[in-house]
């Protein structure tokens, strides 16, 4: 055992995440190592790997919970809700869940934007979310291509709103930006 590193430490995941974010910001994602992250958190590499498969997962570990929130919200929307309205409710719920972590989200996005490999991973994760939403819409009786188009449009709205929220100072809450972005989409697609 390394001095000062007990067998069990409270909030290990949170401490590792904080240490990783600090190192990614200070030194860059590529230069920060798992050993340095664990050391800064006062933990071991073994503890790191109990919580994260690799250092990239520090930035992406919440994906499963986000996907579950989106899918469950779409699935539980009233049967009378239009597919886009079910997706809008899910996006707003996701926005509300992220609202409290604005500074973390801003820092995370800056790290991802600075690294092509992480940008690619982010796009893959967004595509996975769109596929899960489309599958849920199909379970609600929405046929393709409408289910896929609605899910992809929803994720595009979320992506644009999220980027505004983390990049423009003084932005209102994320659910409000999501609603505004969805309204913008409806405006440009409305028949004249």
pLDDT in tens, 110-157: 999 999 999 999 999 999 999 999 999 999 999 999 999 999 999 999
Report pLDDT for 4.
45
Q: How far is the first Cα of the chain from the last one, in angstroms, to the nearest whole number? A: 70
115-128 residue pLDDT tens: 999 999 999 999 99
pTM of the model: 0.85
> Which residue bears the tokens 């929130």?
69
22 touches 41 (CB < 8 A): no
* CA nearest to 65, candidates 118, 123, 14, 132: 132
- CA distances to 17, 150, 188, 189 from 183, in Å: 35, 14, 9, 10
> Which residue bears the tokens 């994720």?
155
Tell which wins on pLDDT, 11 or 181: 181
The gap from C-alpha 50 to its chain's centroid, in whole angstroms, comes to: 21
Angle at 21 between CA 16 and CA 27, to 5 degrees: 120
- Rounded CA-CA distance 9/22 in Å is 20
Report pLDDT for 191.
63
Report pLDDT for 5.
46
Q: Which domains does the chain have, with CATH numbers?
A: 12-58 (1.10.10.60), 62-189 (1.10.357.10)
């Amino acid at each position: 055992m390394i001095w000062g590193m007990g067998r069990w430490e409270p909030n290990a995941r949170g401490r590792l995440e904080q240490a990783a974010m600090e190192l990614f910001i200070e030194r860059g994602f590529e230069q920060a190592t798992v050993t340095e992250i664990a050391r800064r958190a006062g933990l071991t590499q073994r503890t790191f790997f109990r919580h994260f498969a690799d250092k990239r997962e520090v930035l992406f570990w919440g994906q499963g919970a986000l996907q579950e929130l989106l899918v469950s919200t779409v699935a539980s929307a009233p049967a009378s809700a239009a597919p886009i309205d079910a997706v809008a409710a899910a996006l707003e719920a996701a926005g509300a869940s992220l609202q409290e972590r604005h500074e973390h989200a801003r820092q995370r996005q800056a790290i991802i934007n600075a690294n092509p490999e992480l940008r690619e991973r982010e796009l893959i994760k967004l595509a996975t979310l769109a596929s899960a939403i489309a599958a849920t819409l199909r379970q609600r009786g929405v046929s393709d291509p409408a289910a896929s188009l609605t899910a992809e449009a929803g994720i595009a709205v979320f992506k644009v709103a999220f980027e505004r929220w983390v990049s423009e100072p003084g932005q209102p809450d994320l659910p409000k930006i999501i609603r505004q972005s969805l309204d913008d989409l409806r405006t440009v697609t409305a028949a004249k």
